[in-house]
Amino acid sequence: MTLLETRGLSKHFAGLQAVAGVDLAVTEGEVRALIGPNGAGKTTLVGMICGRIAPSGGSVRFDGRDITALPAHRRIRRGMAYTFQITSVFARLPVAENVALAARRHRRGADVDLAVHAALDRVGLGAHIDREAGDLSYGHQRLLELAMALAQEPRLLILDEPTQGLSEAEIAAFKALVRELAGTTTILLIEHNMSVVMETADRVTVLDLGTVLAEGTPREIHGNAAVQAAYLGTGADA
Report pLDDT for 25: 98
Q: Where do the domains of the chain lie, and which CATH numbers do they carry? A: 1-79+163-238 (3.40.50.300), 89-153 (no CATH)
pLDDT digits (tens, 9 = 90+) for 120-176: 999 999 999 999 999 999 889 989 999 999 999 999 999 998 998 899 999 999 999
Q: Sheet with 57-62: list strands edge to edge.
A: 16-27, 2-13, 57-62, 65-66
Q: Which residue has the higher pLDDT, 85 or 178?
A: 178
* pLDDT above 90 for 110: no
Report the SS3 class of residue 41.
coil
Q: Which residue has the higher pLDDT, 105 or 214?
A: 214
* pLDDT above 50 for 237: no
Q: Which residue has the higher pLDDT, 86 or 219?
A: 219
- 186-190 and 31-35 as β-strands: parallel, antiparallel, unpaired? parallel
Kindly report the number of other CB atoms within 10 A of residue 62's CB atom: 23
Report pLDDT for 63: 96
* pLDDT above 60 for 17: yes
Q: Which residues touch 64 (CB under 8 Å, ≥6 apart)? A: 2
| 5-14, 15-24, 82-91, 123-132: range with lowest mean pLDDT | 82-91
* pLDDT above 70 for 233: no
Report pLDDT for 238: 39
Report pLDDT for 85: 58
* pLDDT above 90 for 230: no
pLDDT digits (tens, 9 = 90+) for 172-201: 999 999 999 988 899 999 998 999 999 999
* DSSP string of 8-34, one letter each residue: EEEEEETTEEEEEEEEEEEETT-EEEE
* DSSP string of 44-89, one letter each residue: HHHHHHHTSS--SEEEEEETTEE-TT--HHHHHHTTEEEE-SS---
Report pLDDT for 38: 86
* pLDDT above 60 for 235: no
* pLDDT above 70 for 46: yes
Report pLDDT for 39: 87
